[in-house]
Structure 1
């Protein structure tokens, strides 16, 4: 069973946990029928532990864990955390750290504009993934 099929199963059984003003449009281009693979880079993640300890996330994680995909399909932390954040949080409860450079080979985030001009980054802003054609940042910004 794929991750998204398991997520859809959870959503069908737990609609009461998913607020109407969530960020589904960040992780799906078709209202939740499919997963578009957009996710937050979890190697640089600052989170309120109350979210990870919440009833909604605990039930979500338990549902995924029971399906065995972490072991058999190697479901990773980035898509799982991102899907959970998109389902249970509103956009204003998330933040994009566009002023902090970050590299996770082969991709990098290089601050743009004034953030880059302040002089602490040695990266080239033109090589930043957030301005690449397949970046999901424009989807998140548009929410």
Structure 2
């Protein structure tokens, strides 16, 4: 009974919150995006037929907490065509237009060894990380899109983001990548990628930002601090992902040893390194006022005025999770 009461309270709060933000946004023209801005920003989600419930929940939640004021489209990708019942339901519940795309075979594996392990759930995740990092920006469905918000079906957001307007913040500040700070990459994967990055740096000095190592290394690139943004959430500039420097970096490290599949490089690790290295520290933004949760290990809840002002529905004193690394959180204060 107690648990049921909490559930009722949560959804009642969310409904009232939706009404409050909706009436507020309708009377605040500054946060209403233009039709052109709507079409050039969008949410990106990888979908599976067996994840309908989770996808619907994530779409409804983000639409209530942010997209009700903007109607940005949803770009939903899959390896195979989704059932018509799935596409119909996702189109029905999404605030913005829902569009569906297939990830082509040539972007989903690159060696016979890789192809043999695709059936593993872990391998699917690894190949998806590679697709997000290297091929998402070139998909025809996103041809005219400038910024994408990567959404995982099993992620949860806890704060109102209408006044914050993350997409608007990206454009105004000319950002390449924004996410939630404070975690460290697995040492093996991080170091193998960093070794490849160091080789790229030696060969391509003209492509690097003069302050490119500031967020990545304390000794001018000799070692990597292994700090990165949290998984399964990030807002990215597709113009940056389509740039010559970014493509050169991705192709350089991807061609060496299939690290996304063999060493488990995450897209958030690669995005953190690439955006810092090529765009400098001011092209990267750490969101501290977005409440975010994914699985039992990833959690972020704003504190103080940010928690109150954004009507966050999370506990800022909850330290049950282990991936918040103080040294990495402090790094993105600079």
TM range (shorter): 0.7 to 0.9
Shift of 1:118: 3.0
Structure 1 residues 133 and 87: alpha-carbon distance in aligned structure 2, compared to 1, 3 A threshold:
closer
Shift of 1:43: 1.9
Other-structure match for 1:30: 219
8 A contact 2:215–2:281 mirrored in 1: no
Rounded to whole Å, the distance in 2 between the matches of 1:135 and 1:126 is 19
Other-structure match for 1:134: 326
Pick from 50, 57, 60: which aligns with 2:239?
Answer: 50
8 A contact 2:214–2:280 mirrored in 1: no
Rounded to whole Å, the distance in 2 between the matches of 1:119 and 1:94 is 22
Other-structure match for 1:113: 304
TM-score normalised to the size of structure 1? 0.86
Pick from 60, 64, 80: which aligns with 2:270?
Answer: 80
8 A contact 2:227–2:328 mirrored in 1: yes
1:15 and 2:214 aligned: no
**Higher strand proportion (structure 1 or 2):** 2
Rounded to whole Å, the distance in 2 between the matches of 1:100 and 1:117 is 12
Q: Runs (4+) of structure 1 moved beyond 3 Å?
A: 132-135
TM-score normalised to the size of structure 2? 0.39
- Give the superposed CA RMSD: 2.0
Rounded to whole Å, the distance in 2 between the matches of 1:50 and 1:34 is 29
Unaligned runs of 5+ in 2: 1-190
Instruction: Kindly provide the CA deviation profile for residues 40-87 of structure 1, in whole angstroms up to 9, marking residues without a partner as x.
Output: 224221111000000000000001110121222121111111100110
Rounded to whole Å, the distance in 2 between the matches of 1:138 and 1:18 is 24
> Residue 234 of structure 2 aligns to a residue in which SS?
coil
Rounded to whole Å, the distance in 1 between the matches of 2:270 and 2:325 is 23
**Higher RCO (CA < 8 A, seq sep 6+):** 1
8 A contact 2:200–2:252 mirrored in 1: yes
Other-structure match for 1:101: 291
Rounded to whole Å, the distance in 1 between the matches of 2:224 and 2:288 is 24
Rounded to whole Å, the distance in 1 between the matches of 2:208 and 2:310 is 42
Instruction: Kindly provide the CA deviation profile for residues 98-135 of structure 1, in whole angstroms up to 9, marking residues without a partner as x.
Output: 11100123131101211111363232213367xx5535
Rounded to whole Å, the distance in 2 between the matches of 1:21 and 1:28 is 11
Equivalences, count? 139
